[in-house]
């Protein structure tokens, strides 16, 4: 199969590596406006060639978009304008605003909304790695709006990445990811800002980082471009989760202030229930 | 050297394993009121014997306390009442209330306040592991109040655990750990509570957990007994950090609500500076 990947960062790059290695892609074309990323991807053999968007579309069976949400929203209709039989999918962690944008496009059936739930806090083609997706979940949204043929090809592609399939409508997807992914990132960004604000002596932050801080703050290294886009496009759900989160923190604060040890202990015991789920 | 370890959980157990393996301890006595923990520690050869506190003190050169903060505060003066030349240290992640409690004890010099900055979210002797402390930092507090001989022995003990030494007064220690450890745990407990509250369908939490949630929520599995004690004994600092943290979260919320993408992007870029430190 001839595939094009638009965006050769962590997400697109990691897809390229495994689709080639595992024999799904015969030839991989990269579309990448960042020259350094394009050059790197070509140099390390991640892609066979770098082409402009239109030429890439013409020469592809499958087009995988791995770019931030706003770019996906603006580019997807333009890509659908140009496809014949080509199949298009994306990798964004928000889905409502994307599916909404092309709901009535006459090539809507050629598009499959998908979200591979994997990543690291690093970015760029240098961060791409084989096995990133193995065993993780991919969410397919609003599959009734995709043609059976398109869905079959995209599902097969994710099978080559060893991903578990989950089906959801775009609205439910966006609510769920606000809880299990987006809030974790805000929590981590805010934690980093809190510590950077107060700890002027950066040597101490480093020396004391083994107390749990390193694990909770890992996500704070994540890309500003990607996450600004995500929060913007999932604002309503993210704000609702943030409200609950701030409420829980205030409950802790009040319980600590009033020295209600039973209350604190109860809250921690309840939080411990997450053990059974993860 | 003949050592006693009071509390054979993750912390005390991991100390026992490496002090024996690396030849620091000739004989290890455990003091443990939880019968299941005591039995397990004896069975797996973590300790040579389980004794009552008084007998353990009599037979030891060095006594290591690895129990929650409140128990340490209540037990330390009683132990110092009974020591002759024996040296005593503890492992608590709060120091102010402990050093305050025995400030004027006539055996104060026999005690070294130490905090090995390592751990996992698991607890009990089953969670103990070799290498837990390797390369991590241990903080010594108010060392001018300990005798040179006591300090020498306790430092040597932590050298056998391969830990880097840091010196701080107890007050500064408690401020720093509030930022780099205690707030991370509250952040994680609150995150777990938020998700458990809203996600009634627990299958979804599991399936979607690869989006970063697993990393930020790891600490939410930590022991209620230990952490209730910590928050209680470092209340003032923890509340001050919580205030800043909640402020940062609100800034995110308002920026997202008002769709100020530049502001969101700026905040994330600032948070990214944590990369250079960790």
Write out pLDDT tens, residues A36-65: 999 999 999 999 999 999 999 999 999 999
Calculate the alpha carbon distances from A27 to A5, A22, A64, A85, A87 in Å: 11, 12, 13, 18, 16
Mean pLDDT score, B80-90: 98
Straight-line distance from the first to the last Cα atom of chain B, in angstroms, rounded to the nearest whole number: 37
Rounded Cα–Cα distance for residues A43 and A208 (Å): 40
Q: Taking chain A, what is the end-to-end CA distance rounded to the nearest angstrom?
A: 37
Backbone angles phi, psi at A66, to 5 degrees: -130, 60
Report the percentage of chain A scoring pLDDT > 90. Answer: 86
Nearest to residue A24, comparing CAs of A150, A165, A161?
A161
Q: Per residue in A57-82, is it b (16+ CB within 10 Å) or e — as a string?
A: beebebbbbbbbbbbbbebbeebbee
Distance of CA B245 to the CA centre of its chain: 22
Structure tokens at A107: 């090539």
Residues in chain B closer than 8 A to A184 (CB atoms): 191, 211-213, 215-217
- A119: domain CATH number? 3.40.50.720
For residues A98 and A182, state if they share a domain.
no
Distances (CA, A) of B255 to A174, B183, B242, B268, B270: 19, 23, 20, 12, 15
Whether B183 and B215 map to the same domain: the answer is: yes
**Do A204 and A74 share a domain, yes or no?**
no
Helix intervals (H) in B168-234: 170-177, 183-198, 202-207, 213-216, 224-233
Other CB atoms within a 10 A radius of the CB of residue A184 amount to 26
Nearest beta carbon to residue A209 from set B209, B270, B278: B278
Residues A161 and A39 reside in one and the same domain: yes
B195 Cβ neighbours under 8 A, 6+ residues apart: A179, A180, A183, A274, B205, B213, B217
d(CA A64, CA A87): 9
CA–CA gap between residue A90 and residue A154 (Å, rounded): 10
Whole-number pLDDT of residue A198: 77
pLDDT for A159-178, tens place per residue?
999 999 999 999 999 998 99
Q: What ipTM, to 2 d.p.? A: 0.89
On whether both B149 and B96 belong to a single domain, the answer is: yes
Q: By C-alpha distance, which of A35, A76, A70, A36 is closest to A57? A: A76
CA distance B264 to A70: 15
H or E stretch including A187?
A: helix A183-198
What is the tens place of the pLDDT at every residue in A199-209?
Answer: 666 666 666 66
Name the β-bridge partners of B167: B140
The pLDDT value given to residue A189? 95
The answer to whether the beta carbons of residues A41 and A125 sit under 8 Å apart is yes
B12 and B98, same domain (yes or no): yes
Residues B32 and B98 in one domain: yes
Residue A185 to residue B212, Cβ atoms within 8 A:
yes
Closest-CA distance, B56 to chain A, in angstroms, reads: 30
Final residue belonging to a domain, choices A118, A148, A168: A168
For residue B268, the chain A residues in CB contact (below 8 A) are 189, 222-224, 227-228
Q: Residue B183 belongs to what domain range?
A: 173-277
B137 touches chain A (CB under 8 A): yes
- Domain co-membership, B99 together with B115: yes
Arithmetic mean of pLDDT, B84-104: 97
Minimal-distance CA residue of chain B relative to A264:
B228
Check residue B100 and give its pLDDT: 97
* β strands within chain B, DSSP E: 2-6, 27-31, 49-50, 62-65, 87-90, 111-116, 137-141, 164-168
Segment among A231-245, B151-165, B208-222 with least mean pLDDT: B208-222
B194, A261: Cβ pair inside 8 Å? no
Last residue in a domain, options B121, B142, B168 = B168
A110: part of which helix (H) or strand (E)? Answer: none
More confident residue, B142 or A181: B142
CA separation for the pair A202, A177 (Å, rounded)? 33
Mind listing the pLDDT tens digit for each residue in B202-222?
666 666 666 678 888 889 999
The verdict on A125 and A189 lying in the same domain is no
Same domain (yes/no): B143, B46: yes
How many CB pairs lie under 8 A apart between chains A and B?
308
Give residue B277's pLDDT band: very low, low, confident or very high (50, 70, 90): confident
**What pLDDT does residue B201 have?**
63
The residue of chain A nearest to residue B241, with distances taken between CA atoms, is: A194
Q: In this complex, do B204 and A253 lie within 8 Å of one another by their Cβ atoms?
A: no
Total domains in chain A come to 2
């Amino acid at each position: 199969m001839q595939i094009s990947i638009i965006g050769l960062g962590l997400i697109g790059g990691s897809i390229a590596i495994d689709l080639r290695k595992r024999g799904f892609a015969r030839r991989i074309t990269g579309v990448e406006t960042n020259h350094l990323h394009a050059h790197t991807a070509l140099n390390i053999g991640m892609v066979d060639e770098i082409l402009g968007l239109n030429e890439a579309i013409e020469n592809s069976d499958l087009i995988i978009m791995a770019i931030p949400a706003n770019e996906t929203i603006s580019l997807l209709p333009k890509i659908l304008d140009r496809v014949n039989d080509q199949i298009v999918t994306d990798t964004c962690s928000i889905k409502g605003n994307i599916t909404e944008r092309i709901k009535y496009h006459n090539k809507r059936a050629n598009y499959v909304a998908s979200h591979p739930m994997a990543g690291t806090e690093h970015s760029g083609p240098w961060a791409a790695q084989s096995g990133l997706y193995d065993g993780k979940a991919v969410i397919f949204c609003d599959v009734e709006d995709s043609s059976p043929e398109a869905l079959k090809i995209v599902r097969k592609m994710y099978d080559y990445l060893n991903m578990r399939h989950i089906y959801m409508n775009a609205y439910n997807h966006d609510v769920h990811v606000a809880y299990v992914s987006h809030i974790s990132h805000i929590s981590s960004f805010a934690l980093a800002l809190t510590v950077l604000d107060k700890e002027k002596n950066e040597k101490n932050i480093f020396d004391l980082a083994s107390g749990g801080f390193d694990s909770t703050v890992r996500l704070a290294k994540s890309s500003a471009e990607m996450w600004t886009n995500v929060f913007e496009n999932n604002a309503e759900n993210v704000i609702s989760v943030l409200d609950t989160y701030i409420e829980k923190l205030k409950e802790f604060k009040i319980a600590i202030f009033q020295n209600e040890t039973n209350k604190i202990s109860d809250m921690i015991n309840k939080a411990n229930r997450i053990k059974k789920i993860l």
